[in-house]
Amino acid sequence: MGDESYNFVFKVVLIGESGVGKSNLLSRFTKNEFNHDSRTTIGVEFSTRTVQLDNFAIKAQIWDTAGLERYRANTSAYYRGAVGALLVYDITKHLTYESVERWLKELYDHADPHMVVMLVGNKSDLGTLKTVPTEEAKDFTEKNGLLFMETSALDSTNVEAAFQEVLTAIHKKVASREVPRVSITAVTLSSTIGPASDAQKKRSTCCKNL
Amino acid sequence: MFRLHSSLSDSMEQFQDLIRDQGQERLCPLLQTKWINDRHWSQKPSQRIKANSSKKRKVSLLFDHLEPIELAEHLTYLEFKSFCRISFADYQNYIRSCCMKDNPMMERSITLCNGISQWVQLMVLSRPTAQLRAEVFTKFIHVAQSLHLMHNFNTLMAVVGGLCHSSISRLKETSLHVSHEVTKVLNEMTDLLSSCRNYDNYRQAYSRCAGFKIPILGVHLKDLISVNEAMSDYVEDNKVNVQKLQALYNHINELIQLQQITPQLDANKDLVHLLTLSLDLYYTDDEIYELSYTREPKNSKAPPATPSRPPVVVEWASGVAPKPDPKTISKHVQRMVDSVFKNYDHDENGYISQGDFEKIAASFPFSFCVMDKEKEGLISREEITAYFMRASVICSKLGLGFLTVQYFVDRIQWGDCEEQVMCSYLEKKVHCVVSIMQTAS
């Protein structure tokens, strides 16, 4: 990772009930970067992937609760500095959709109000067992100003697109300076491309590249 | 994966026979398979650490009288007990099923952790003035420092997490009364426990600790799930991915090994019981927020009106019960009745015996309520629900929080509360009801 260059680091969190496939989505998106050898520091680079948007290298740092969602104490630490969120539910389990509002509330209680949020209906490969109609979810997202997508981590449908869309939306917000930069603590801005500059280290205590 | 396949154990046995034939019997133990389904890794975990019930030493059971170090020690006692109960198989099940179904030990550990976080918030919010809240806040910072010194990272996370929760961090008046020193310590703690770089600060501190330590379980569970998701079960030619199994084993084994190192603690049984009761809180996040807004309303510069009299009952979160609405009461009663029937309806016919009911009812501070019976000697679900509904309404009018009721439900559920402790607790409760009634009249 040492020789990788990037212009921005975006912290994006994955939230939603357990069992909806958050870890699946993440491993789909970042698969190639999982470091098999990092035993003690497992997963340090696991949840990152660098993508190109408009000639900028964006390092997406994606956080997966992976069971942590049950621990209330981790909540604040988890959301701090996040600029985007994928709120995931299971299209075949209506209960996981019903809890979406509670997750949204928690998100806004702890995270930056300007953050980009996408509602993700996962497991679209199980279309026949669908209990959450697309229209219903879509209406909800329109009312609440969220992005929306249905994905399948199993057959990869829309996984790439979902992450891309969220990262693009964040990038747009940052580039248009619609959001004051101070409020997005996780965004690392570097004038000189390269992770090791001192200026960058000072700016970002949160997303230092290892 | 993980389940012992009969053909594997068969071939292992054949292999062992072969070794014996060769006269190398001493190598046989290396081929054991029985541990695969062994659920008794942590046999009698509660025996590893004991609380003493010395009658010589009198202890204060009031929060205000307890030193931070005492609180930290007793929390560590509870935490270690709960940590030791989780077996190798529990970790395996967790990875496989990703849920808490059929995993009561894991669930209990998580519930304890969340209970501590909530308790910390409620204890701060229970105080009427910003000054008093700041004192409790400061006390918990000292508790956190002690926990850190003991290397109890899990409870440390629970306490710091509670203090960092937005229901507390939004209290601007309170934070004005918190010294810079204390704020500095909190910042150091949040840095230590920060999720940045996948809890790197914590991981480093954790690996530096030798001897007794309790890991932040959530972080390690997350690692297990991450390894399980990221590595494939099979490699090319349908070969089992041994690396993955090895990685999972190493992680679980490390956690299991930690159960062997007991902390040096002087825990008092009565305090442990009381603390256990206090951690069984039944508050939703919304209720805690509501309390937080009541203490320091949104966008208000003036401090909120404080009661002229400080709360008489300075006893373990008893004063923090916001008025429960009928819907909430009904929900809580329903849960409670479910617990009662789970434990006492032995033949599952929808009735519990008169004798059992009297035992249960005697555990609650509202035995003045009269029970209507339809069937001699048996009490139905409807009757017991109606009884508790009536009783809890009366209790809430008396200023007795619903918490009390919930405490005893949980005791009944776990069945490990000593009668004596319950009685002494009830005595205090009754005493405080009487004093409330006296001051009211």
Q: In what order do the strands lie in the sheet with A84-90?
A: A48-53, A56-64, A8-15, A84-90, A116-122, A147-150
- Taking residues A63-89, what's their average pLDDT? 86
DSSP summary character for residue B268? B
Instruction: Classify strands B234-235 and B239-240 as parallel, antiparallel or unpaired.
Output: antiparallel
- pLDDT on residue B409: 42
Domain shared by B227 and B364, yes or no: no
Give the span between the Cα atoms of B44 and B142, in whole angstroms. 33
Domain housing B362: 327-440
For residue A48, list its beta bridge partners. A61
Give the span between the Cα atoms of B44 and B85, in whole angstroms. 8
Do the Cβ atoms of A72 and B114 come within 8 Å?
yes
A162 or B311: which carries more pLDDT confidence? A162
Q: Is residue B89 part of a domain?
A: yes
Q: Is residue B272 part of a domain?
A: yes
Instruction: Classify strands A48-53 and A8-15 as parallel, antiparallel or unpaired.
Output: unpaired
With a pLDDT cut of 70, the percent of chain B lying above it is 62
- Taking residues B315-344, what's their average pLDDT? 52
Give the H/E segment covering residue B68: helix B68-84
- pLDDT on residue B104: 86
A33 or B170: which carries more pLDDT confidence? B170
B280 or B432: which carries more pLDDT confidence? B280
Domain housing A22: 8-183
Give the span between the Cα atoms of A145 and A168, in whole angstroms. 16
Q: In Å, how far is B428's CA from the nearest CA of chain A?
A: 31
Domain shared by B155 and B297, yes or no: yes
- pLDDT on residue A177: 67
Residues of chain A positioned with their CB less than 8 A from the CB of B162: 73
Q: Is residue A83 part of a domain?
A: yes
Q: Which A residues, 103 through 162, put their C-beta within 8 Å of a C-beta on chain B?
A: 106, 109-110
Q: In Å, how far is B403's CA from the nearest CA of chain A?
A: 20
B356 or B328: which carries more pLDDT confidence? B356
* B392 in Cβ contact with B327 (< 8 Å): no
- pLDDT on residue B318: 29
- pLDDT on residue B108: 86
- Taking residues B14-30, what's their average pLDDT? 84
Domain shared by B229 and B352, yes or no: no
- pLDDT on residue B146: 96
CATH number at residue B308: 1.10.840.10
Q: Is it the case that residue A195 has pLDDT exceeding 50?
A: no
Domain shared by B302 and B155, yes or no: yes
Dihedral class, residue B361 (left if φ above 0, else alpha if ψ from -120 to 50, else beta): alpha
Give the span between the Cα atoms of B77 and B83, in whole angstroms. 10
Query: Quick check: B221 contacting A, CB < 8 Å?
Result: yes
Helix axes A22-30, B217-230, angle to 10 degrees: 60
> Rounded to 5 degrees, what angle do the CA atoms B99, B347, B378 make?
120
pLDDT in tens, A31-43: 644 444 444 445 4
- pLDDT on residue B56: 46
Q: Is residue A143 part of a domain?
A: yes
Domain shared by B364 and B312, yes or no: no
- pLDDT on residue B330: 66
Domain shared by B353 and B312, yes or no: no
- Taking residues B152-157, what's their average pLDDT? 96
* A40 in Cβ contact with A34 (< 8 Å): no
Confidence of residue B155 (pLDDT cuts 50, 70, 90): very high
- Taking residues B284-309, what's their average pLDDT? 67
- pLDDT on residue B419: 44
- pLDDT on residue B315: 29
- pLDDT on residue B392: 55
Do the Cβ atoms of B166 and A109 come within 8 Å?
yes
Q: Is residue A77 part of a domain?
A: yes
CB-neighbour burial class of residue B349 (10 A; exposed 0-12, middle 13-18, buried 19+) = exposed
Q: Select from A76, A108, A159 the residue whose CB has the most chain B CBs within 10 Å, as the one to mutate to test that interface.
A: A76
Give the span between the Cα atoms of B316 and B306, in whole angstroms. 20
**Residues in chain B, total:** 441
Q: Is residue A208 part of a domain?
A: no
Cβ neighbours of residue B430 under 8 Å, at least 6 residues apart? B365
Q: Is residue A198 part of a domain?
A: no
B177 or A112: which carries more pLDDT confidence? B177
Q: Is it the case that residue B414 has pLDDT exceeding 80?
A: no
Cβ neighbours of residue B382 under 8 Å, at least 6 residues apart? none
Q: A13 to each of A16, A63, B156, B403, how far by Cα in Å?
A: 10, 5, 23, 35
B413 or B93: which carries more pLDDT confidence? B93
Query: Quick check: A43 contacting B, CB < 8 Å?
Result: yes
For residue B258, list its beta bridge partners. none
Domain shared by B276 and B371, yes or no: no
- pLDDT on residue B158: 95
Confidence of residue B300 (pLDDT cuts 50, 70, 90): low
Residues of chain B positioned with their CB less than 8 A from the CB of A46: 198, 226, 230
Query: Quick check: A84 contacting B, CB < 8 Å?
Result: no
Residue A158 identity (one-letter amino acid)? N
pLDDT in tens, A84-106: 999 999 999 999 999 999 999 88
- pLDDT on residue A168: 92
Lowest mean pLDDT among A15-19, B114-118, B174-178, B194-198: B194-198
The domain boundary residue, chosen from B317, B340, B369: B317
CATH number at residue A96: 3.40.50.300
The domain boundary residue, chosen from B317, B343, B364: B317
Number of domains in chain A: 1
Confidence of residue B75 (pLDDT cuts 50, 70, 90): very high
- pLDDT on residue B348: 73
Confidence of residue B327 (pLDDT cuts 50, 70, 90): low
Q: Select from A72, A110, A201, A210 the residue whose CB has the most chain B CBs within 10 Å, as the one to mutate to test that interface.
A: A72
Sign of CA dihedral A80, A10, B219, B290: positive
The domain boundary residue, chosen from B317, B342, B357: B317
For A117, phi then psi, to 5°, come to -120, 130
CATH number at residue B349: 1.10.238.10
* Coil, helix or strand at residue A155: coil
* Coil, helix or strand at residue B353: strand
Query: Quick check: B98 contacting A, CB < 8 Å?
Result: yes
DSSP summary character for residue B320? G
pLDDT in tens, B193-221: 988 777 889 999 999 998 999 999 999 98
Q: Is residue B71 part of a domain?
A: yes
Do the Cβ atoms of B100 and A70 come within 8 Å?
yes
Q: Is residue B46 part of a domain?
A: no
Domain shared by B249 and B307, yes or no: yes
pLDDT in tens, B76-115: 999 999 999 999 989 998 888 767 778 888 888 988 898 8
Number of domains in chain B: 2
* B77 in Cβ contact with B118 (< 8 Å): no
Query: Quick check: A44 contacting B, CB < 8 Å?
Result: yes
Q: Is residue A74 part of a domain?
A: yes
Domain shared by B354 and B253, yes or no: no
- pLDDT on residue A101: 92
- pLDDT on residue B332: 60
Q: Is it the case that residue B168 has pLDDT exceeding 80?
A: yes
Do the Cβ atoms of B230 and A78 come within 8 Å?
no
- Helix/strand number for chain A, H first, E second: 7, 6
Domain shared by B345 and B392, yes or no: yes
pLDDT in tens, B225-275: 888 877 778 888 889 988 888 888 988 999 999 999 988 888 877 677 767
Model pTM score: 0.68
- Taking residues B150-169, what's their average pLDDT? 94
Domain shared by B207 and B240, yes or no: yes
Q: Is residue B100 part of a domain?
A: yes
* Coil, helix or strand at residue B2: coil
- Burial state string for B96-121 with b = 16 or more CB within 10 A and e = fewer than 16: eebbbeebebbbbbbbbbbbbbbbbb
Where would I find the beta strands (DSSP E) of A54-124? 56-64, 84-90, 116-122
Q: Is residue B187 part of a domain?
A: yes
Q: Is residue B12 part of a domain?
A: no
Give the span between the Cα atoms of A44 and A19, in whole angstroms. 23
* Coil, helix or strand at residue B417: coil
Q: Is residue A210 part of a domain?
A: no
* Coil, helix or strand at residue A50: strand
- Taking residues B104-128, what's their average pLDDT? 87
Radius of gyration of the CA atoms of chain A, in A: 17
- Residue of chain B minimizing CA distance to A68: B218
Cβ neighbours of residue B58 under 8 Å, at least 6 residues apart? none
Lowest mean pLDDT among A4-8, A189-193, B50-54, B132-136: A189-193
Lowest mean pLDDT among B28-32, B52-56, B435-439: B435-439
Query: Quick check: B14 contacting A, CB < 8 Å?
Result: no
Q: Is residue A81 part of a domain?
A: yes
DSSP summary character for residue B52? B
Domain shared by B233 and B358, yes or no: no
Confidence of residue B423 (pLDDT cuts 50, 70, 90): very low
Other beta carbons less than 10 A from residue A62's beta carbon: 24
* A162 in Cβ contact with A146 (< 8 Å): no
- Taking residues A71-91, what's their average pLDDT? 88
Of B198, B227, B285, which has the smallest distance from its Cβ to A44's Cβ?
A: B198
